[in-house]
Amino acid sequence: MFKSKKAIFAFAVVLVILMAMGTVLFAADSRTKIYAEMGDNQVNMLNAYSEAEKAREYVRFSALHSAALVSQELDITARQGCFSGIDTAAFKTKFAQKMTDYLDAYNSTNQLLDISGLNYNYVYNFQNNGIEIKCSTLPGIIIESNKIDFTYSTTGFVAINFSCNDYNEYARTRYFIV
């Protein structure tokens, strides 16, 4: 095949150079893959945190909206001291039903994440000029990734204050300024 020692030496040099380049390219490809996998975990964690904040904000707005709708259903008069004499049992029942409907309708905006733990308990503090509602869930909001083995958990606590002024504004405009 080779007729001289120079040709064999040249072939060996070219072969060594090709093997070295292949090794360098293979090593560079491996590092890129490792960096991409490491970046995926951080991106998933940031996405999960963002999703938890969206869910918490959704719960807060749903609670305000549910309180307004229940207040209308119970025909609360839009005046000062509008929550005095309210049927607290009826309010609690209707509020929990509306919240269940809203929470069942919630879906993650990120298709790589599944969210669970939106089963809330409510503590009410009725006053003449408003209602304070504390919404809490145990163990919390749990977000799992469909892409990698990853679970994120956070507290699901939300508190709202729904005042007569809030109710009057909602009754007049049909929306909240949040």
The model's pLDDT over 68-97, given as tens digits with 9 standing for 90+, comes to 999 888 888 766 778 888 899 999 999 999
Residue 103 within any structural domain of the chain: yes
Residue 178 within any structural domain of the chain: no
Q: What percent of the chain has pLDDT over 70?
A: 81
Q: What is the pTM of this model?
A: 0.73
pLDDT of residue 88: 92
Residue 28 within any structural domain of the chain: yes
SS3 69: helix
**Angstrom distance (rounded) from CA 73 to CA 51:** 32
Per-residue model confidence as pLDDT tens digits over 92-114: 999 999 999 999 999 888 888 88
What phi and psi values does residue 116 have, to the nearest 5 degrees? -145, 175
The number of folded domains in the chain is 1
pLDDT of residue 34: 47
Residue 128 within any structural domain of the chain: yes
**Angstrom distance (rounded) from CA 149 to CA 19:** 37
pLDDT of residue 36: 47
